[in-house]
Amino acid sequence: MAQEQKITVQRTIDASAKDVFEVLTNPERHAELDGSGFVRSDEKTDRIQAVGDVFTMNMSGDHMGGEYQTDNHVTAYDTNKMVGWKTAPAGTEPPGWEWLWELEPQGSDTTLVTHTYDWSGVTDQALLDKVGFPLVKESQLEDSLARLAAAVS
């Protein structure tokens, strides 16, 4: 049986889907949401507005030998419902992993947030072996949801 190639976590957050979406589509706020500790800051980015947008983040991690940048290619965008992107080392095409945030209103000021880290699109076996997916653990994704809840409260 093949190993699952994605991790999905959920949390109900006491904020409207609009307020949650406002935070998620602002790359300036991604460092405060990051439960993995890799995201340091955005690199002069604009708010995410559509599929096809690209935003750049300043990162740090032993898996890349320290400081590096990523280009994040927006793959999903539905106002107040969904935003997602595929990450790549800056200046390269995404090798196949994706971050997806799905928002489901549970009333006017409560939102069920589903956060998925999916590396099923990575086909480069050398990269799979090198990176050792999943690079981010389920507990770190849950921490990102807790940080999101704090950011919108």
Query: Tens of pLDDT along 99-115?
Result: 999 999 999 999 999 99
What pLDDT was estimated at residue 122?
93
Q: Which domain, by its residues, includes 81?
A: 6-152
- Which residues touch 129 (CB under 8 Å, ≥6 apart)? none
On whether residue 1 sits in a domain, the answer given is no
**Cα–Cα distances in angstroms (integers) from residue 34 to residues 41, 105, 110, 123, 130, in the given order:** 10, 23, 21, 26, 22
Global pTM? 0.94
What pLDDT was estimated at residue 127?
85
State the total domains in the chain.
1
On whether residue 99 sits in a domain, the answer given is yes
Element (H, E) at 16: none
Mean pLDDT of the chain: 94
Q: Decide if 91 contacts 85 (C-beta within 8 A).
A: no
On whether residue 66 sits in a domain, the answer given is yes
CATH number of the CATH domain containing 92: 3.30.530.20
What pLDDT was estimated at residue 2?
53
Alpha carbon distance 107, 7 (integer Å): 26
> Which two structure tokens, joined as six digits, stand for 93?
């095409």
What pLDDT was estimated at residue 1?
42
Q: Which residues of the chain have pLDDT under 70?
A: 1-3
